[in-house]
Structure 1
Amino acid sequence: MGVNRGATVEEAVLYSRRRRRHRMGLLNDIEAELNIIAEKLRPEKKDVSLWRGRCRSSLHLRHGGCCVMPKVPAVGPERIDTTCALCKSAPETRNHLFFMCAYSSQIWEHIARGILCGSYTNVWSEIVSIIGDETMERKRLFCVRYAFQAVLYAVWRERNKIIHGDKLLPLTTLKRMIDKGIRNKITLMRNHGVKGMGELMQFWFLTRV
């Protein structure tokens, strides 16, 4: 994206020379979010770094794709209320937001239960352990890693929309958008000649049953 990995959101929005269009749909979504932030960002506000992991232009099984791993920010003067912005019923912590919140847990379950089957969990530490399991079947591991990042990004985006006064997307709409985004990614990779994407798409459809 042309953004330094150590950049703050303010630096990414205001001072970096970013490419505005990307081949990867997820990067275009991030670009759209940065443009929204640019409209609302105040120069006097203190910012924190939210960029983590390795960002690459193409998906790689080992790293699970473009790593978008937001940190739930510490409560500061701009947000005194620490209640979860999505469910309004519990303190907002990383473990609650991903994915024990009544809103986010339904999204994660819809996307991930068919992939993980009997190993399904919505506990953060257990999910992290699962996506790090290199002994898992490659198709299953690929899907759960990409699903994890897709849901993570979608939940974080909806959380930020609420904080900025916007409305949540209906659950059915968001579930459909995430599923379509994952299928589009697999199709794009297949069209680019990546081996095994036909079988991967079949596997993904099987997880939707």
Structure 2
Amino acid sequence: MAGNFEMSDIGLLTYYLGIEVLQHKDGIILSQERYAKKILCETGMDECNAVQSPMEFGLKISKANEEEGTDEKDYQQSIGCLHAIPITHSTRYRLLCRLVKQLLKYRALARSFVQVEIRSGTPTSFWFDEWSPLGRIIDLTEMQGCIALGINLNATVEFVIQNYRSRRYRAEHLITIDKEILKLRAQGLTEEDDVVKWKGKGNVFRPCFDIHQTWNSIRVPQSKVQWYKGLWFAGSTPKYSVMSWLAVHNRLATGDRLLLWNSQANAQCILCNSAVESRNHLFFSCTFTETIWRNLTRKLLGQNYSHIWSQVLDLISTHTVSGETRFLLRYAFQVSVHSIWLERNGRRHGKVQRHPSILIKFIDKQIRNRISSLRGRAGTSFNNAMVVWFSSRD
């Protein structure tokens, strides 16, 4: 990751989003004690006595007409802080259970990707690890095999090779297992560690794990879409790429999609208030967003300029423009999609509305910052990007 992104090592994680992270050799402990004490101090309750319920049982509350007004935002902020407290307790437990259940679904699939090459046989389970061409021995014999072969369920390969006594079996699968044990005994064990091998490209097992080859082995291959180059390119920022990817797949909760879930939902575009909000309207047919897009890309595209979604997608995916201009166009597209969507969400949730000129300045700053971080990298062609970008600005 350090080769693709600017990173710095600041040591072990100790505090993140209100959660203390205590790392020991026996595990990791998550705590929100410091966060809870901070809330108590800010609300003036740090010296109060601890009780099971913060309110007297059966207390009736009425409106105080003669009291001075209070700022409701302070109350809302305090209550909002309390919502984050259970994250390391019941919520953490539920998330952990969900994660474990999801992982357990892939047990059968994962077994076919792992093999063990026996050297010493010490850490390898005779019954549950796939150390022979026969596969997992427990799958061949089931639990009755322990009695039939006289081998304990917890036995390792090393223990079996050293202590197994061959017998005459009638069942064909037991005869095959017996031969496999005697074959490995004849080869002999060494003092080296067993080698765990992972299945990769071409179903070949190798002593190293390759996530790319594993992913290609378990997924159903699909033909490449034309627009992928416009989203996943050198110098892109992951959060902007993911947001753009969601937009391309029309997965953003725009007004037209909200209507499919709730016919009473307000589907009007909150930026221009003149049309139903859809993906194609929001990017960039809306008068609000078209102003932003035009200001950022009009000079970059020249005669090829367009604000129609399908045409914009073609422009960033093909070689209509080249070099630094193509990178700037793609990056401007992604930052614009991300910033416009955040502005749209902010307005729907009552935040202060921003003028297009403010968003233009913000996007312009993000692009300049990205160019500055990329310039000077070995093997890249971003050295002239800042000159091209400045020449396209008014």
| Structure 1 residue ranges, 4+ long, deviating more than 6 angstroms after superposition | 38-41
Trace 1:83-98 onto structure 2 (pairs within 5 A): 83-98=268-283
Q: 2:319 aligns with which of 123, 134, 145?
A: 134
Q: 2:291 aligns with which of 99, 103, 106?
A: 106
Identity in percent? 30
Is 1:60 aligned to 2:245, yes or no? no
Which entry has the higher C-alpha Rg, 1 or 2? 2
Q: Are 2:324 and 2:382, in contact at CA under 8 Å, matched by a contact in 1?
A: no
Q: 1:156 aligns with which of 338, 341, 344?
A: 341
Bigger strand share: 2
1:194 Cα deviation (Å)? 5.9
Equivalents in 2 of 1:159, 1:186: separation in Å?
Answer: 26
Q: Which residue of 2 aligns with 1:29?
A: none
Higher relative contact order (CA 8 A, sep 6+): 1
Equivalents in 1 of 2:308, 2:299: separation in Å?
Answer: 16
Q: Are 2:301 and 2:321, in contact at CA under 8 Å, matched by a contact in 1?
A: no
Equivalents in 1 of 2:355, 2:273: separation in Å?
Answer: 16
Q: Which residue of 1 aligns with 2:213?
A: none
Is 1:195 aligned to 2:375, yes or no? no
1:3-46 CA-to-partner distances (Å, cap 9, x unmatched) read: xxxxxxxxxxxxxxxx87xxxxxxxxxxxxxxxxx9899x9xxx
Distance 1:194 1:200, change over 3 A: farther
Distance 1:135 1:77, change over 3 A: closer
1:198 Cα deviation (Å)? 2.4
Trace 1:31-46 onto structure 2 (pairs within 5 A): none
Q: Are 1:87 and 1:101, in contact at CA under 8 Å, matched by a contact in 2?
A: yes
Distance 1:192 1:139, change over 3 A: closer
Distance 1:59 1:129, change over 3 A: closer
1:127 Cα deviation (Å)? 0.3
Q: Secondary structure at the match of 1:172?
A: helix
Q: Are 2:269 and 2:277, in contact at CA under 8 Å, matched by a contact in 1?
A: yes
Is 1:72 aligned to 2:257, yes or no? no
1:78 Cα deviation (Å)? 9.8
The residue type paired with residue 304 of structure 2 is S
1:135 Cα deviation (Å)? 5.6
What stretches of structure 2 of length at least 5 have no aligned partner?
A: 1-15, 18-79, 85-90, 92-226
The residue type paired with residue 290 of structure 2 is S
- Count of residue correspondences: 159
Equivalents in 1 of 2:346, 2:364: separation in Å?
Answer: 20
Q: Secondary structure at the match of 2:383?
A: helix
Q: Secondary structure at the match of 1:181?
A: helix
Q: Secondary structure at the match of 2:384?
A: helix
Q: TM-score w.r.t. structure 2 length?
A: 0.37
Equivalents in 1 of 2:345, 2:375: separation in Å?
Answer: 33
Q: Secondary structure at the match of 1:197?
A: coil
Let me know the Cα RMSD of the aligned residues. Answer: 3.1
What stretches of structure 1 of length at least 5 have no aligned partner?
A: 1-18, 21-37, 44-52
